[in-house]
Every structure is written in structure tokens, then in C-alpha cells.
Structure 1
Amino acid sequence: MIVRIMGEGQIGLDESHLVELNKLDDELLAEIQRGDEEGFRRTLGALLDAVRRLGEPVPDDSLEPSTLILPSPDATLEEVRGLLNDDGLIPG
């Protein structure tokens, strides 16, 4: 699957990593619902770091559609709240 981090580019990621990413996504969703800015910032950073660590950058000249789009590291709690669906940022 291809994950886009807004403002950074795309990362190829094996779907086997979704379990680990969903744990962080669930934590992020709970922090957003509580309005926990500090926890939100920490967990968003951990989620994006995990995607970068587990995946491989897709070349800039590749025209692959993104399966999943994640916010930039400097996104605000309110901006991310607007991107959420019932499952958080990551379906499943």
C-alpha cells in the first residue's frame, strides 16, 4: 500500500504493519476526542515515525495513487479532527 504524509511524499508500506499503526491511530483518536494536545502531538509524531521506519520512500517521479493520506507532522489537533472518519485516520 502507498501512504502519503502531507508535505513529505509517499511511502510504500506492507499491509502487515497495519496492526501496529492501528494501535497508534486508536490512541491518537482517543487523545483528539479528549482534546489532549500534548498526547496528540506525541502520538501523531510516533505514528508518522512508524510509517517512515516501516516503509520505503516511493520515488518522487512515481505516479502511484495513495491508499492512505496522513496529516503533516505540524498539523493541528483541529485540522486532524477534520480528517477523521469513524475508524480514525487508518481504516480497520
Structure 2
Amino acid sequence: MIVRIMGEGQLRLADSRLVELDKLDDELLREMENGDGPGFRRTLAELLAKVRELGTPLPDEALEPSELILPAAEATLEEVRALLGGDGLIPG
């Protein structure tokens, strides 16, 4: 799976790693629903750090379609709400 972090670039991530990201995604969704700004900020940073840890960066010149697009670390709660599907940022 190709994952894009907005403003950073793309990473290749094994589909099997999505399970590890689901918990953080669920937590992020709860914090957004509760309007927990500080919790949202912390969990978004953790989610992006985990994607960077588990993924392999693609070269900047690579132009592959992204199957998953994640917000930039500095994205606001409102910006992330606009990106969310009903299940959060991570499908499944």
C-alpha cells in the first residue's frame, strides 16, 4: 500500500501493518468527536510517527497513486474532520 503524508511524501507500507495503525486511528476519531484538541494533536503525531517507522519512503521523483492519504502533522482538527470517512483515516 502506498501512503501519502500531506506535505511530506509517500511511503510503502505493508497492508498487514494497518492493524497496528487502527488503534491510533480509533483513538484519534474519539478525540475528534469529543473536541479534545490536545489529545488529537498528540495522537496525530503518534499515528504519523508510526507510519514513518513502519513504512519505507519512496523517492521524491516517484509518482505512484496513494491508496491512503494522511494529514500533515500541523493539520487542524477541522482540516482532519474534512478528510475523515465514517471509519476514520485508516480504512477497516
TM-score range, shorter chain: over 0.9
1: CA distance, partners of 2:32 / 2:15: 25
1:46 and 2:50 are equivalent in the alignment: no
Gaps of 5+ in 1: none
- With normalisation by structure 1, the TM-score equals 0.98
Task: Give, in angstroms, the shift of residue 60 of structure 1.
Answer: 1.1
Tell me which residue corresponds to 2:36.
Answer: 36
Tell me which residue corresponds to 2:11.
Answer: 11
Tell me which residue corresponds to 1:24.
Answer: 24
- With normalisation by structure 2, the TM-score equals 0.98
Gaps of 5+ in 2: none
Task: Give, in angstroms, the shift of residue 19 of structure 1.
Answer: 0.5
Task: Give, in angstroms, the shift of residue 63 of structure 1.
Answer: 1.7
Task: Give, in angstroms, the shift of residue 70 of structure 1.
Answer: 0.2
Aligned 1:78-89 pairs, distance under 5 A: 78-89=78-89
Letter aligned with residue 54 of structure 2: L
C-alpha root-mean-square deviation of aligned residues, in Å? 0.5
| Displacement over 6 Å in runs of 4+ | none
Partner SS state of residue 60, structure 2: coil
1: CA distance, partners of 2:83 / 2:67: 15
Partner SS state of residue 42, structure 2: helix
How many equivalent pairs are there?
Answer: 92
